[in-house]
Amino acid sequence: MCAPVDPHVARRYLLRRQLGKGAYGIVWKAVDRITGEVVAIKKIFDAFRDKTDAQRTFREITLLQEFGEHPNIISLLDVIRAENDRDIYLVFECMDTDLNAVIRKGGLLQDVHVRSIFCQLLQATRFLHSGHIVHRDQKPSNVLLDANCTVKLCDFGLARSLSDLPEGPEGQALTEYVATRWYRAPEVLLSSHRYTLGVDMWSLGCILAEMLRGKPLFPGTSTLHQLELILEIIPPPSEEGQTACRSGVGASTQ
């Protein structure tokens, strides 16, 4: 294996193969030696190294424990502490693939699949929004699928509760750098610190368009290019809208 697994984890789970690896950690497909259930194990390296990483890990665990029983949200089965007290293991139900991989293969999604997938995404999002939770990172790679076209929304590291923030006509004060650029709402691209649950709906629209087109709708190479692509399709805002957005003109162009 590419990374060591704690003995107490290996005693419970038989690792089958590596599913992914990144700077954050590593994911394996495994089998529960007791129940025989196939699971996915994500080992997060140094999960609490700083405030940001600790917040992301804590949010994902607490939100999934709260909402994971929804049929279209990934189930968190177990949380296991590593022996070094720095890493942490999250055990999830195992899915076959993700929407990004399906779209990239091309020709697999028929109209009935698109309708089914999008309906399930809407159901998951409606459930989250009913609890005043904004996901903030909906994109094809965070939409897991199985052979029956069942959808499971995953990766809640950027999700936030809006219920503890003050209400207002301009929305909620939140971090502007969220979601992969191609799926970010314009207000996020413009570095607005106040927005609403609507940012998830924008991401869903981008996902739907990508399923229908077979390629991303707004594949921007920078923040500025992203905005240019959006304005090529969507009419520019009114003068009042432009005035409201003026505070975000200085957005970065990463």
Is there a catalytic annotation at residue 137? yes
pLDDT of residue 184: 92
Tens digit of each residue's pLDDT (9 = 90 or more) over 132-141: 999 999 999 9
For residues 100-109, give the mean pLDDT: 95
If pLDDT is split at 50, 70 and 90, which confidence band does 250 have? very low
pLDDT digits (tens, 9 = 90+) for 116-131: 999 999 999 999 999 9
- Going by C-beta distance under 8 Å and a sequence separation of 6 or more, which residues neighbour residue 198? 171, 185
DSSP secondary structure letter of residue 247: G
Whether 139 has a binding-site annotation, put simply, is no
* pLDDT number for residue 252: 41
**CB count, 10 Å around CB of 8?**
13
Asked if residue 77 lies in contact with residue 92, where contact means CB atoms within 8 angstroms, the answer is yes
Question: Catalytic: which of 87, 98, 137, 200?
Answer: 137
Q: Which domains, from first to last, does the chain contain?
A: 7-93 (3.30.200.20), 97-248 (1.10.510.10)
Percent of the chain clearing pLDDT 70 (strictly above): 87
Helix (H, G, I), strand (E, B) or coil at 226: helix
Q: Look up residue 63 and give its amino acid.
A: L
What residues contact 142, with CB distance under 8 A and at least 6 apart? Answer: 98, 153, 154, 155
Q: In the sheet that 143-145 helps form, which strands lie side by side, from edge to edge? A: 97-98, 143-145, 151-153
Helices (H), 81-180: 99-105, 111-130
